Amino acid sequence: MQRRRFLMATGAGSAVVLLSACRNGHATERPPASGAWKLTPAQWRQRLTPAQFHILREAGTEPPYSSPLDHEKRAGVYHCAGCALALYSSKTKYDSGTGWPSFWKPLPNAIGTYRDTRLLMARTEVHCRRCGGHLGHVFRDGPPPTGLRYCMNGLALQFRPGETV
């Protein structure tokens, strides 16, 4: 939480978004997609918008406060924009004040994580378990009961209002 406040207060938050394109390598590589979701980059480009491709397939980040899903309050389920796997229930969504949709718990067997060291700091990246798409990051500054903040890119998600899990 302290690092996020510092970055936003100093205006460096925008720099963090711009730096997300930097590639200093990963301590652990993202696992490959499974089964029918082993698509070529050209196939992914056909399925996704350019912005979704950048986020889901190139580990990009959307600008903070740009996603309508950050303010979504209705009951429903959030799915992967790449393969439609159900990822988060609206019951675990909360306003983190970061400008990205945030959740304190994913659905069972929905996500995977790995260590991300691209921005000269260690973070835990969150990806879709089925298609391997980059969703965002998880931090240890969330609310009870988990204390976790799954900070997701809205463009990596599809919201289905009224759906239950």
Does residue 83 have an active-site annotation? Answer: no
Rg (CA), the chain: 15
Token pair 């463009």: residue: 155
CA distances from residue 78 to 1, 98, 121, 145, 151 in whole angstroms, order as listed: 24, 18, 28, 20, 13
Catalytic residue chosen out of the listed positions 83, 128, 131, 151: 151
Tell me: cis bond preceding 145? Omega within 30 of 0 counts: yes
For the annotated catalytic residues, the residue numbers are 151
